[in-house]
Amino acid sequence: MNAQLRNNPMKVALASMVGTAIEFFDYYIYAAAAVLVFNTQFFHSDDPLSNDLLSLSTLALAFFARPIGSALFGHFGDKIGRKKTLVASLLLMGGSTVIIGLLPNYSQIGIWAPILLCICRVGQGIGLGGEWGGAALVATENAPEGKRAWYGTFPQLGAPIGLFVANGTFFLVSYFWGQEALVEWAWRIPFISSLLLVFVGLYVRLTLHESHVFIEAEQKGKKLNAPVSVVFTKHFKPMVIGTFIMVATYSLFYIMTAFAQAYSRTAPNLSEAGHPLGLGIPANTFTGLLLISAIVFGIFISISGVYADKIGRRKWLIWVTLAIGVLGLSMPVFLQNGTPASVFAFLVIGMAIMGMTFGPMAALLPELFPTEVRYSGASLSYNLASIIGATIAAMISLKINASFGVIGVGIYLAINALMTLLALLASKETKNVDLTQI
């Protein structure tokens, strides 16, 4: 292969980071709006808690759609290449986000408002389902020898960058126009502004060459007609192991960002079972705390890449997963009768652990599969984990808290950590595998 056609590893790393940051921005502005806005704009019930639950439940739609995106974009990513597929996933994600910003609300078109919102949320899920695997592959397949985990952290940095920019945008909108305007109309600004970011992402991705690892596999005649079906028939075990390795990561993140935010801003009253339903912390205060903790998230993603290359992905993640379990069981210390200071401590510690578990995933999951099914296999593992780890957390954590208190949510997180720990113990170390020889 002509060496001139090979991508500069750092250019690829930065391009993957920019692309995933844009897509995660789109994803997180929806999560923020689901907590702050959609419960009143798109749902109409006399019970505020029911509106909150309905709004948060729409988060789950994307998690169910993401494996569809994994299968769809994974199929084409393994057949026609990583670059073209990444461009398509960005267009779908960005288009869905902009349309959400233009949707009429419930008072204008009634039941069609939540229906259209759900359709767009599914579009976001399909787009992100195809995004992550491709971004992880172009970063790791172009990485220098012995530095795959480090280069793999660059697409992972898109998550804290997207989280920071998304919540920062809502913070600024609320600051300049006020909370009332944010709920009524200004929430649309972040969604519509996503159009500009999509153009930036397209420019960055269209300047890349195709992964040389993919081209070499193509030249050797390794391309498959149905890579997704081959994952299920010949690589089912690594797919299951990869899925459960990701479960605790998802559970931790959505408990911190969705449950903790809803719990913190809800008025401090008691459930029928006598458990606190909220802390009454102003929404903007929590957003500010989340912005700072997002920086911690990014720092520890980078740290994780260095150590996952040094001591191995498996050993590193075993220790981090144990820390997730301990954090879950200690949640009442931070949140039971929490203050802004204790909530902030929970977010900082949780985001640090989140960075340490999330960072190595862009290297580890692709290393479980051969080149001809790598896009499909890594994407399916990553996104099937979202159904098990994130969907339930987003849908039932408030109900668990109402029935059993914060300790119930913490035990739920610890159970997910146990599942991930068992998957890690069943796996093998992959840091020294040759991606061209799997």
- Asked whether residue 435 is domain-assigned, the answer is no
Distances (CA, A) of 346 to 165, 283, 294, 330, 341: 21, 17, 12, 10, 9
Question: Among the residues of 271-339, which ranges form H helices?
Answer: 283-311, 313-329, 331-335
Q: Residue 372's pLDDT is what?
A: 85
Distances (CA, A) of 91 to 23, 39, 99, 203: 10, 27, 12, 12
Task: Return d(Cα 274, Cα 128) in angstroms, integer.
Answer: 39
Residues 41/114, Cβ–Cβ less than 8 Å: no
- Asked whether residue 234 is domain-assigned, the answer is yes
- Geometric angle at alpha carbon 271, from 268 and 274, rounded to 5°: 95
Helical pair 112-141 and 9-36, crossing angle rounded to 10 deg: 160
Distances (CA, A) of 42 to 12, 100, 315, 377: 40, 11, 46, 36
- Asked whether residue 254 is domain-assigned, the answer is yes
389, two tokens: 């780890």
DSSP three-state, residue 347: helix
pTM of this structure? 0.82
- Geometric angle at alpha carbon 15, from 294 and 157, rounded to 5°: 20
Residues 259/397, Cβ–Cβ less than 8 Å: yes
Name beta bridge partners: 276: 270
Dihedral sign from CA coordinates of 390, 391, 397, 403: negative
Residues 279/264, Cβ–Cβ less than 8 Å: yes
Q: Residue 2's pLDDT is what?
A: 44
- Asked whether residue 433 is domain-assigned, the answer is no
Low-confidence stretches of the chain (pLDDT beneath 50): 1-4
For residue 377, what is the domain's CATH number?
1.20.1250.20
Residues 126/64, Cβ–Cβ less than 8 Å: no
- Asked whether residue 35 is domain-assigned, the answer is yes
DSSP for 137-175 reads HHHHHTSPTT-HHHHHHHHHHHHHHHHHHHHHHHHHHHH
Task: Return d(Cα 130, Cα 121) in angstroms, integer.
Answer: 15
Residues 344/292, Cβ–Cβ less than 8 Å: yes
- Of residues 10, 60, 22, the one with CA closest to residue 386: 60
Residues 121/79, Cβ–Cβ less than 8 Å: no
- Asked whether residue 406 is domain-assigned, the answer is yes
Task: Return d(Cα 358, Cα 286) in angstroms, integer.
Answer: 23
Q: How many domains does the chain have?
A: 1
Residues 291/283, Cβ–Cβ less than 8 Å: no
- Asked whether residue 395 is domain-assigned, the answer is yes
Q: Residue 150's pLDDT is what?
A: 92
Dihedral sign from CA coordinates of 320, 322, 328, 329: negative
24, two tokens: 């995660």
Q: Residue 121's pLDDT is what?
A: 92
Range of the domain at 282: 3-426
Give the residue carrying structure tokens 């439940």.
57
Report the Cα 356 to chain-centroid distance in Å: 14
Q: Residue 1's pLDDT is what?
A: 41
**Residues contacting residue 1 through CB under 8 Å, at least 6 positions apart:** 212, 215, 216, 219
Residues 368/430, Cβ–Cβ less than 8 Å: yes
- Dihedral-angle region of residue 103 (phi above 0 means left; psi in -120 to 50 means alpha; beta otherwise): beta
104, two tokens: 């009429």
Q: Residue 224's pLDDT is what?
A: 64
Residues 136/152, Cβ–Cβ less than 8 Å: yes
- Asked whether residue 411 is domain-assigned, the answer is yes
